[in-house]
Structures are given as C-alpha cells and as structure tokens.
Structure 1
Amino acid sequence: MASSLSPLPCPDNKLSTDVIIYDGECGICTAQVHKLPWWDCQQKLSYLSLHDPQVATRWPQLSADRLKEEMCLIDTQGRQHWGPDAIRYLSLRLRRLWWLAPILYLPGSMFLWRPLYRWVAKNRYRLSKTAACTTNACKKHH
C-alpha cells in the first residue's frame, strides 16, 4: 500500500512547518497521514515516520516508547502536541478542518477523545488490514 501513495513532504524540504511524527509501519496511521495533505491546503505540515533516524537526531528529548503509543506533532515553536491533542491542534491549524474544532473543543470532551485515541492506537495493528500486516508488523508489535 505505502508504495502506491504519493511521498509526503519531509521537514528537510519544507522549513517552517509543523512536523507530524507517526508510525510509518502502521497501515491505519499511514493511510490517515496520507489524507492530511488534502486538508492542509496551505502546506503547513511535513511528516516523518517514528522509525526514521532523523526523529531521534532532531528531537532526542522525545520518548521512543511514547512515540510508539501516540503520534506527535511538533509545531513551529517547538511545542509538542501528542495524540488527541495533536488532532485538536490540527483542527485549528488547518483551514479545511475548521468544522471539527467545535466538536473537539467541547468542554470535557477530552475525557472521551483520549481513551478513544488510546484504544485505537493500542489496537492499530490488529485493526489494519493493509500492507503493515502483510510485512509482519502486526506480529512484531503485538
């Protein structure tokens, strides 16, 4: 699957962008991240797989274990946004996601979004029925 997808912009080629660090071995993660460029009509994002050596080099303070549990968005100011908080951030950052912000910012809604995100993240290899599972990623991670 990944080979048929267009390459994502990387931070080396797009300076002054927020960087999304995601699990490039996860079919669900990769599929969702490859949808983001359409939502990102102003080209504010670049992407790296957590398995890319650049991640540890550029952001040594990031926990490899935490990166395996949830995506991380590093904004242009160097702030970290993890998991559902990253999705929330994107709803304000990307013009085409404006409609999602009121839902994600409902008072108290993170009590729902955080466990939902954790459940999907924990089960992502089982839920993926794509190339990630045919390359033994499911067995390797669970």
Structure 2
Amino acid sequence: MPPSPLAGEGARRADEGYSSPKHRKVSGLLRGRARSMRHEPTEAEQRLWSLLRSRRFSGFKFRRQFPVDHYIADFVCLDARLIIEADGSQHAESTRDLTRDTYLHALNFRLLRLWNNDILARPDDVSETIWATLHEKPQ
C-alpha cells in the first residue's frame, strides 16, 4: 500500500469536495490567477485568513482565492456554502459585484462582504459576524 499523501497533496477528504461539475471545468488560466492571488494577498486578506485558517470556526474549513465556476472567491467554505469577500472602497457601488453576487447566489452560495477597514480595525466584530453567518440557517 502506498504511503498517505502529504498535506496539500493528493485527494481531498470526501467531506471537502465541491459538488458542482463545473468545478472540474475551471480553466488553467483561472487556477493560475487564483494561485498568484494567494501569493499576493492584501493586508486585509492576510488578517482575515489568519482568522479563518486551520478550521478555527467550529471546524469549518475555508479556502482562499478559490475558483467557483468562472469567478474567484476571496474565501469560501464549501460545507456551509459561504463565500466571504474582503472589499475595499472600489466595491462600494460596483455593478460588476452585483452581477457576480447574483450568479453565485444562483449556485446556492451565501455571500458575506466585509470592508477592509473593519477587518483591520475591528477583527473581533468581524469574527462575531462570521460566526453568526456560519450558524444561521440558509434560506
């Protein structure tokens, strides 16, 4: 029997899978873009990732800069169908974000948009918001 794959290599656990067949069709270009975004996070994304990583919210697993169909989500918990976006001022009245959110809602994802200023200045409040969102009943 071959040895178990190292962390981050090989197959995911069965409970971490993404059920949409579209996931398998993510282009190499989009995956490459997501990978480069993981290596160049904003300060707010770094802080938010430190709150979300390592199953710190009741064992919920988050992934960062994760392709969902033809979009890249800042953070996603597949089990809870929750996408968290860290937004700066450029997202204040973005019609592009509205279109994206509508599309992701159609895929049965819930979205939580957090302002970068809040992530940096009030991490405890942000943690409470994430906790509450994870534990509320999906509609």
TM-score scaled by structure 1?
Answer: 0.26
Q: Which has the higher contact order (CA 8 A, sep 6+)?
A: 1
More helix by share: 1
TM-score (norm 2): 0.26
